[in-house]
A and B are shown apart, each in its own frame.
Chain A
């Protein structure tokens, strides 16, 4: 009987330990398209924690980590628009709203919805984003795409370049997690 309890306790502990997933190399990129200009920037260094037991998801990234194709764009993005010396980080803190329909113990691709607070340029706004969660063995991959309006986050675009930057910027996430 004692052995059974011990086995159960070990199994429970292992299950509980595997509830949190971590990623330090999350790929986040944004894309702005206007007839005049296409702008794309990537970071592969977003840090994220996903707690499968309660659906908590956090993302954190450095603004300076976003890489552009053109050096001047990157300079303007950091110095004029996002003021990365003053506000170096952006992040998200939220919850998976359909956690019950995702089985983290069974391989598959599950539709997912996340809702929470997105902080950019020191401004926090509530957002809801749809995406997928893929379970493959111990690796969990989260993919999502949502839109961000720069104006909502107090990002001032000078009128001279206003036509070159989309009113709504596509943000994409592709992050693979391992159990912590």
Chain B
């Protein structure tokens, strides 16, 4: 009853092609952005920032990048941890080796290096497909693991193998409170999310989806596989690289190569599968699910009064995570995003029966 397009007529092409054609959606997004940028920094505790919101934002960005590659272009990639690592280490190197390098430029530089790395390790996709490609991308993951721990120039000759980002600041604005870090991540997520949304609505995005659906047919009608696949790898690893740099600089502060291990790649893949492949919203849902689940799992037994040792709590968490993944895949293979759009469809009629 409230969520209808009744009476909303578009009078220009621009209005017809906007991302949120329904006015209620636009209002909702405005409210959410207002809450996110203004209300949350003033009212939420530091712990919530550090444990929930900042990891959510950075993982959402990384999941967004991966969704472009896997969900929109159909190239299964298990090397995301490596792309994040490249972004993080490249940004770190730019930050420490160049005097007075602005933070945003080093983040972008990290993204660009990750883009180059992604394109190089995306070259096999021109020849290999499907599960073979998935395992081939593992080569990127293990290669980067090795490079980060064996090549001294990656860590700027750090003796312990771990690096730490120093004080973050943009212009004169020093970013040291969790609320400011949250705003930085939120800003980057909004900008890159908007870019990604527009990219997937454009011809490039349609090329990607054509490659995903049937690449032979796509090349028959004139879509060049090289450009489509490599651009997907490039854009995806750019975004993932920036997410990796943020993960290291903002969330971790100091990190060693194990922070971007194979586990991370699997986690991101989980996020986009549960959230919904081929959906920008889905990446956000998946990241939220992934960040909130361990918190729920640690707090619920506490509330119910069941004592659990930390070791068995971790194992039970593993088990519940695995079981939930299988459950979600059986019940809704298109993920939470599909559940959300089904709900919106039902909302168009509510409370009327037809």
- A and B form one complex: no
Write the residues of chain A forming the contact surface with B, with a CB cutoff of 8 angstroms: none
Write the residues of chain B forming the contact surface with A, with a CB cutoff of 8 angstroms: none
